[in-house]
A and B are shown apart, each in its own frame.
Chain A
């Protein structure tokens, strides 16, 4: 659901800390008709210019908090942090030097569990301009 729209054109950019590029970010919207707890995210896989991003370098930023991607997949993650319908979820890839400014091909696979049907998996691929 919403497959062509889960990868947002908004806010793809380098992440700066103390004057240095320490990574880059993309924003996702949910592939469903309602919001879900972050604990119901089954998978976020990212490819940039054809190269798979190491999940260990991925962090999820949501409402002023940052979680290691692998932590939201754990079976004790809180159930009341909702990725609300239509809300942007920021995925930050920590990488020294960030990403070269300009267009890059980005692909994301997003899996979310809704229990009453099998897990929904959406794929979206587009060229994003990184600031």
Chain B
């Protein structure tokens, strides 16, 4: 569906991973589902849904273009991965990492994607990834190639980082220095989780945690968010003493077991130094608005949708208003990640989740 809004809505085909994994839908089925949700564009993981990857034949491109035409979609983004630890005892050199980066950029051009989500070294913050991923020095070498391919490398600012985190700056500085603007910031809504998701509860209960313990924790996190105060775990930790905790509960509630992460437990983000900062939510939305005009791409991440049609642990009306008022021009792609948390308990209807999510985003943006 072609629409000329500043903010366009798309779907990451990652959202349909179970349909693909369990062979209910092939690539065409996933594209049809995205079109059915009302999306204008799609993001694709070559590593997941291009069977001949790491190669792409002309025959595949013909098929891809035909499918996009048939379903009225455009290719938006290709996801790059940094598989540095290619072997058990040997890693890719920087030269080889660069070559693989080129491979993804060229693939994006072939597929008609304007953006490549680049898996940069600080994707998960500092000190989380066990290997060195794609560094500013590698991005510097990739920039002229990106320019040649007319592709923009999107730095995914994923939890526990955010768009204003200084860890992303080195990449933007390289672009400034070379005067090649083919790298920019990508928002991922994982930064803005104010409580654990019901999808997380399903997963943790499958792994042995007690539902009532986690639901209590989640209720307290929500209470804090909607009352406009930070959630401080220490203030409620004594409440769990009378709850007859099993081993899994104890492990989940043990702060030291969470090396890094989002707001799942703490209502704050654990920083790289092992400390966690409490999020001032009003400030977080304002910062997002301030950065919005500089952002090149957005992952509309979500895990579950509640009975009111809202994402159950992120404030979509506020997030989308911040992007809109801040002047964001580009795509927000639905990135449903509840599948792999909830599929332990049975089939997850990803298509219906994405449909609801697109509807929610259209509502938030005033499109319907």
Are A86 and B45 CB-contacts (below 8 A) given A115-B131, A116-B82? no
B51 touches A37 (CB 8 A): no
A115 touches B51 (CB 8 A): no
Are A86 and B130 CB-contacts (below 8 A) given A36-B47, A40-B83, A115-B82? no
B129 touches A115 (CB 8 A): yes
Specify which of B21, B81, B88, B119 lies most central, judged by the most chain A CB atoms within 10 Å of its CB.
B88
Kindly report which residue of chain A lies nearest to residue B23, judged by CB atoms: A86
Using a CB–CB cutoff of 8 Å, the interface residues on chain B facing chain A are 14, 17, 20-23, 45, 47-49, 51, 53-55, 81-90, 119, 123-124, 128-131, 133, 340, 343-344
Are A77 and B53 CB-contacts (below 8 A) given A85-B48, A116-B133? no
Q: How far is A11 from B209 in the complex, measured between Cα atoms in Å?
A: 34
A79 touches B86 (CB 8 A): yes
Query: What is the number of contacts between chain A and chain B, taking CB atoms within 8 Å?
Result: 90
B21 touches A2 (CB 8 A): yes
Q: How far is A74 from B87 in the complex, measured between Cα atoms in Å?
A: 7
Q: How far is A113 from B86 in the complex, measured between Cα atoms in Å?
A: 8
When distances are taken between beta carbons in the complex, the residues of chain A under 8 Å from B53 are 35, 82, 84
Kindly report which residue of chain A lies nearest to residue B55, judged by CB atoms: A80
Closest CB in chain B relative to A89 CB, distance in Å: 13
Are A80 and B54 CB-contacts (below 8 A) given A116-B124, A117-B124? yes
Q: How far is A115 from B47 in the complex, measured between Cα atoms in Å?
A: 14
Closest CB in chain A relative to B348 CB, distance in Å: 12
A2 touches B133 (CB 8 A): no
Q: How far is A77 from B82 in the complex, measured between Cα atoms in Å?
A: 18
B85 touches A86 (CB 8 A): no
When distances are taken between beta carbons in the complex, the residues of chain A under 8 Å from B90 are 75
Q: How far is A70 from B128 in the complex, measured between Cα atoms in Å?
A: 29
